[in-house]
Amino acid sequence: MTDSLFISDLHLSQKCPGTTDLFLRFLEEQVDAGVHLYILGDLFDTWVGDDDTTPAIKKATHALLQATIRGAQLSIMHGNRDFLIGEAFAKTTGCTLLDDPTVVDLNGLPTLLMHGDLLCSDDLEYQQARELLRSHAFISDFLAKPIQQRKILATEYRKKSGEVVSLKSADIMDVNQYTVETYMRNSGVKLLIHGHTHRPAIHDFKLDGQSAERIVLSDWHEKRGEYLRVSGTEITRHMVSGASVLKKIYK
């Protein structure tokens, strides 16, 4: 039986080498044959194309490839920071690119996987920008530019985005419960796992009269990482540092 691990929002970059080191340690210690690792978006803080070879990206790419060589299965979903990850990266690392949303069978438990930004439907400005940035026209035009120009544009966009976010209320950037229930109902599931909001938690609620759960993955920092493990019918949260289980979620 395959154990499934879930992580998101590591935001790997040159600015935070400790997070990259923590991720490499996690891959080496936890991701081996018999493990399926799901990365639910924003593995990288910025992704300007599969031809980017900055040291943090090269380290992570090599470590992911080594994990697949050891026999692990790797699946990666686009986040709002690294939605330009493409087939070249997937081929180089052995990862499978996941659609957002995707339903998987976790040892008999149908589960909806998302990055999470689609659930923040109250933030209309963000949703409109997301649609534009994910358009074929924008992506084709952006990737046709020289890589240095792409990096400059990405930096400018991130700065502008940060200024906009600082003016928004915390509530508008969190998920909308009606949207959560709509995605789960349409997918025929009672369990949803996602990241994006940086608000790790376990939300229990009723969906059409039945018990349902929404598990929000933690973001990572230079001295702390967290992952979700599904083993058989048991779901647990763990610290990458090797600390004991944080909370048993489902059995």
Q: What integer pLDDT is reported at residue 242 of this predicted model?
A: 43
State how many domains the chain has.
1
Tens digit of pLDDT at every position of the chain (251 positions): 789 999 999 999 999 999 999 999 999 999 999 999 999 999 999 999 999 999 999 999 999 999 999 999 999 999 999 999 999 999 999 999 999 999 999 989 999 999 999 999 999 999 999 999 999 999 999 999 999 999 999 999 888 887 777 677 777 889 999 999 999 999 999 999 999 999 999 999 999 999 999 999 999 998 899 999 999 989 999 998 744 444 455 44
What is the extent of the structural domain holding 54? 3-250
Residues 82, 143: Cα–Cα separation, whole Å: 13
Q: What integer pLDDT is reported at residue 244 of this predicted model?
A: 41
Q: What integer pLDDT is reported at residue 250 of this predicted model?
A: 46
Structure tokens, 162: 């940060």
Residues 25, 30: Cα–Cα separation, whole Å: 8
Q: What integer pLDDT is reported at residue 56 of this predicted model?
A: 93
Cβ 173 vs Cβ 165: under 8 Å: yes
Q: What integer pLDDT is reported at residue 140 of this predicted model?
A: 97
What pTM was computed for the model? Answer: 0.94
Q: Burial of 13 by CB count in 10 Å (0-12 exposed, 13-18 middle, 19+ buried)? A: middle
Phi and psi based region of residue 27 (left: phi greater than 0; alpha: psi -120 to 50; beta: remaining): alpha
Residues 115, 39: Cα–Cα separation, whole Å: 9
Q: What integer pLDDT is reported at residue 12 of this predicted model?
A: 97
Q: 């943090």: which residue's tokens?
A: 56
| CA nearest to 8, candidates 63, 71, 62, 81 | 81
Q: What integer pLDDT is reported at residue 245 of this predicted model?
A: 45
CATH number assigned to the domain comprising residue 19: 3.60.21.10
